[in-house]
């Protein structure tokens, strides 16, 4: 623990050290996010072309390779979240995985530049990588997934730690933090999908190595910024393993399954620690009552870790359990995102790429919604949120779950637009291949989905961070990336499943997404399938969002709205602004 000899927070205290945290600390994080996402998002939207035209994968294999890479990346975020909650602090976790990420990007640069590490055209629809070339290729992808995933699992929580949600003034800063985190992502992504993509795909896809060089240098400089900001960070010392705490609750609840429930929740075991600096206790809830049996102390038994759990420890597991349906309800939206990063880019490659005399790379089309978001995010944070806050008394204007709901509706609309655009593109291409429709028709589906992502991603990050128990903040925020991961994996499964099913029922005996020629496919039907699936998924989400019961914690530190001594009080972070304003008047 020597690395945290002077942290902004320590294990038992949430008191703030002067000069640490706040906007100054997060500015270094914003710089890293912008520089690192500059290359990451460029790769998300363009690697499908790299796999197709440099590695000679066919249409579905190129799409599945990218979605599997992205799925693995976001799934591995749970590794970064777990390590930063348990073993080393979030700052050092970011640096360690950042080193792995930069190393992987350097390996990809070397392969793209060295022709001896690249395959040659085989004359078949799908060329296979073999031997050392394949080992090098897949090793670099695995390291990239591990590095990026580890950073994603720990970085958002590190930034959020710089604000105290229990302080009414800082609660507003925390609400804005996630919006500005997204703005930093969008800023870097805009440069990535314009400058980096143009450099990489210029001269008929011959400059990929130059794009990877820019990506590598950008990520390296970003992590330098993160390291320079260390003196200003509030660093949380890792606590007990969240997996052990979860296992204890489940194991003891099963062991005590035959014990009767007490007549009152007050009879359940809890540590009566009157130290005002102790960790906040979570109030008891009635959901998942079978877990309460872990907090029943059998007669003539001395309390110990594997004999009984506190109510707070039980409620931690309940909180994580309640989050699971929310995670599941956002997977379909992320599947739609995967299609926009694969098939939509391939659509653009078969459309008119010229804006006047300038040739726009197909993978740069996402710059259009990104530009919209660059304008909309500051307006949302500085105009809409304060306006809505006057009516809702919520620090974020509207609740996190409401934001996610808006995003899910817009994602279904985006897929519907994508289907209509594909019908128009295919019709024109078959009618006159020499006069394709403009690439900018794709901006409609990208634009709507970009706004959907603005609502959903920020809503989920803020929701999981605020609802997470103490000591599980990184692990909880990584749930956002797990949803993305499952979305990408589901994309690969759906592509293969749709191909398999439609191949057996269509008169041509060809799947909707077979081969490399989009004009001979039925991509529009696949988009309609996703649109319908997204609409059904919204109602699924609506049920669980209404069912969800938010946590409340025992207020341990003096607050302007605290009741007189001797009375019980609870603390809800999202009501802090409302109560603070009431106290002032």
Q: Looking at the structure, do residues 426 and 296 belong to the same domain, yes or no? A: no
* Structural domain includes residue 343: yes
CA distance 376 to 382: 10
CA distance 510 to 522: 10
Average pLDDT, integer, range 390-417? 89
3-state secondary structure of 354: strand
Q: Looking at the structure, do residues 308 and 262 belong to the same domain, yes or no? A: yes
Residue 1 pLDDT: 38
3-state secondary structure 213-278: HHHHHHHHHHHHHHHHCHHHCCCCCCCCCHHHHHHHHHHHHHHCCCCCCCCCHHHCCCCCCCCCCC
* Composition of the chain by helix, strand, coil, percent to 5: 70, 0, 30
Give the Å distances, CA to CA, from 483 to 21, 78, 403, 536: 29, 11, 16, 17
3-state secondary structure 118-142: CCCCCCCCCCCCCHHHHHHHHHHHH
Nearest to 334 by CA among 421, 447, 453: 453
Token reading at 507: 């008169």
Residue 26 pLDDT: 92
Q: Which of 302, 329, 356 is the last residue of a domain?
A: 329
CB–CB of 363/46 below 8 Å?
A: yes
Tracing tokens 């919204």 back to the chain, one arrives at 538
∠ CA 437-339-55, rounded to 5°? 90
Indicate the number of domains in the chain.
Answer: 2
Which H or E element spans position 358?
strand 358-359
* Structural domain includes residue 227: yes
* Structural domain includes residue 2: no
Residue 206 has pLDDT above 80, yes or no: no
* Structural domain includes residue 264: yes
First to last CA, the chain: 45
Q: Which of 276, 303, 329 is the last residue of a domain?
A: 329
Domain hosting residue 282, numbered range? 241-329
Q: Looking at the structure, do residues 196 and 92 belong to the same domain, yes or no? A: yes
Question: 287: Cβ–Cβ under 8 A, 6 or more apart, which residues?
Answer: 318, 322, 549
User: How do beta strands 354-355 and 358-359 pair?
Assistant: antiparallel
Q: Looking at the structure, do residues 39 and 100 belong to the same domain, yes or no? A: yes
Residue 284 has pLDDT above 60, yes or no: yes
Q: Looking at the structure, do residues 325 and 336 belong to the same domain, yes or no? A: no
96, 102, 105, 106: CA torsion to nearest 10: -120
Residue 394 pLDDT: 80
pLDDT digits (tens, 9 = 90+) for 49-68: 888 778 877 777 887 888 88
Give the count of beta carbons closer than 10 Å to the beta carbon of residue 54. 18
CB–CB of 107/120 below 8 Å?
A: no
pLDDT band at 273 (very low <50, low <70, confident <90, very high): low
Q: Looking at the structure, do residues 421 and 512 belong to the same domain, yes or no? A: yes
Question: Which one of 93-107, 200-214, 296-310, 477-491 scores highest in mean pLDDT?
Answer: 93-107
Residue 563 has pLDDT above 50, yes or no: no
* Structural domain includes residue 425: yes
Residue 15 has pLDDT above 80, yes or no: no
Q: Which of 309, 329, 349 is the last residue of a domain?
A: 329
Token reading at 429: 């291409």
Residue 559 pLDDT: 35
* Structural domain includes residue 556: no
Residue 326 pLDDT: 92
Q: Looking at the structure, do residues 344 and 482 belong to the same domain, yes or no? A: yes
CA distance 189 to 464: 24
Residue 13 has pLDDT above 50, yes or no: no
Give the count of beta carbons closer than 10 Å to the beta carbon of residue 485. 25
* φ and ψ of 309, to 5 deg: -115, 155
Give the count of beta carbons closer than 10 Å to the beta carbon of residue 304. 8
Q: Looking at the structure, do residues 88 and 231 belong to the same domain, yes or no? A: yes
Q: Looking at the structure, do residues 150 and 60 belong to the same domain, yes or no? A: yes
Q: Looking at the structure, do residues 410 and 363 belong to the same domain, yes or no? A: yes
* Structural domain includes residue 257: yes
Q: Looking at the structure, do residues 500 and 442 belong to the same domain, yes or no? A: yes
pLDDT digits (tens, 9 = 90+) for 294-320: 999 888 778 888 889 999 899 989 998
Tracing tokens 């320590």 back to the chain, one arrives at 10
Tracing tokens 């989400």 back to the chain, one arrives at 541
pLDDT digits (tens, 9 = 90+) for 57-100: 777 788 788 888 888 898 899 898 889 888 888 999 999 999 99
Residue 220 pLDDT: 96
CATH number reported for the structural domain that contains residue 69 in this entry: 1.20.1250.20
Give the Å distances, CA to CA, from 56 to 119, 121, 493: 8, 7, 21
* Structural domain includes residue 49: yes
Residue 551 has pLDDT above 70, yes or no: yes
Tracing tokens 């009080």 back to the chain, one arrives at 569
Average pLDDT, integer, range 173-179? 83
Q: Looking at the structure, do residues 192 and 297 belong to the same domain, yes or no? A: no
């Amino acid at each position: 623990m020597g690395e945290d000899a002077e942290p902004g927070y320590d294990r038992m205290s949430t008191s703030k050290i002067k000069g640490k945290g706040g906007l100054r600390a997060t500015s270094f994080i914003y710089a890293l996010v912008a520089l690192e996402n500059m290359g990451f998002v460029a790769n998300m939207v363009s690697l499908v072309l790299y796999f197709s035209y440099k590695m000679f994968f066919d249409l579905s294999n190129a799409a599945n390779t990218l979605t599997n890479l992205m799925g693995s990346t976001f799934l591995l975020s749970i590794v970064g979240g777990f390590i930063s909650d348990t073993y080393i602090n979030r700052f050092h976790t970011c640096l360690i995985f950042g080193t792995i990420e930069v190393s992987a990007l350097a390996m990809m640069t070397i392969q793209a530049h060295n022709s001896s590490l690249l395959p040659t055209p085989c004359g078949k629809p799908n060329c296979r990588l073999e031997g050392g070339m394949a080992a090098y290729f897949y090793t670099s992808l695995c390291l990239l997934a591990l590095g990026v995933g580890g950073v994603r699992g720990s970085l958002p929580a590190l930034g959020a730690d710089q604000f105290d949600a229990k302080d009414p003034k800082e609660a507003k800063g925390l609400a804005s933090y996630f919006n500005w985190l997204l703005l930093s992502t969008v800023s870097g992504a805009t440069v990535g999908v314009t400058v980096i993509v143009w450099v990489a795909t210029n001269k008929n896809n011959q400059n990929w190595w130059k794009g990877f060089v820019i990506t590598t240098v950008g990520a390296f400089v970003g992590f330098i910024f993160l390291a320079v900001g260390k003196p200003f960070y509030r660093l949380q010392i890792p606590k007990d393993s969240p997996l052990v705490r979860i296992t204890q609750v489940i194991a003891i609840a099963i062991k005590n399954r035959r014990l009767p429930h007490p007549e009152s929740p007050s009879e359940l075991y809890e540590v009566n620690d009157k130290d005002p600096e102790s960790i906040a206790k979570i109030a008891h809830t009635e959901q998942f009552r079978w877990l309460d049996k872990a907090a029943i102390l059998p007669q003539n038994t001395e309390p110990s870790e594997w004999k009984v759990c506190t109510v707070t420890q039980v409620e931690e597991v309940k909180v994580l359990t309640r989050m699971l349906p929310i995670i599941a309800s956002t997977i379909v939206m992320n599947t739609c995102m995967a299609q926009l990063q694969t098939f939509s880019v391939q659509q653009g490659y078969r459309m008119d790429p010229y804006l006047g005399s300038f040739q726009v790379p197909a993978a740069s089309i996402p710059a259009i919604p990104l530009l919209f978001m660059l304008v909309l995010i500051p307006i949302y944070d500085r105009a809409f949120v304060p306006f809505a806050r006057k009516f809702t008394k919520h620090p974020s204007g509207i609740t996190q779950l409401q934001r996610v709901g808006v995003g899910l509706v817009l994602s279904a609309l985006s897929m519907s637009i994508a289907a209509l655009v594909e019908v128009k593109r295919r019709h024109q291409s078959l009618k006159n291949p020499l006069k394709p429709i403009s690439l900018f028709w794709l901006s409609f589906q990208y634009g709507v989905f970009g706004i959907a992502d603005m609502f959903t991603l920020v809503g989920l990050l803020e929701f999981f961070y605020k609802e997470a128990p103490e000591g599980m903040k990184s692990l909880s925020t990584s749930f956002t990336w797990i949803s993305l991961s499952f979305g990408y994996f589901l994309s690969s499964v759906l592509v293969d499943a749709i191909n398999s099913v439609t191949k057996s029922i269509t008169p041509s005996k060809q799947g909707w997404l077979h081969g490399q020629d989009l004009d001979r496919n039925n991509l529009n039907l696949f988009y309609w399938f996703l649109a319908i699936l997204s609409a059904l998924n919204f109602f699924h989400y609506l049920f669980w969002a209404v069912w969800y019961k938010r946590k409340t914690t025992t207020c341990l530190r003096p607050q302007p709205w605290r009741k007189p001594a001797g009375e019980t009080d609870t603390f809800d972070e999202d009501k802090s602004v409302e109560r603070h304003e009431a106290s002032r008047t």
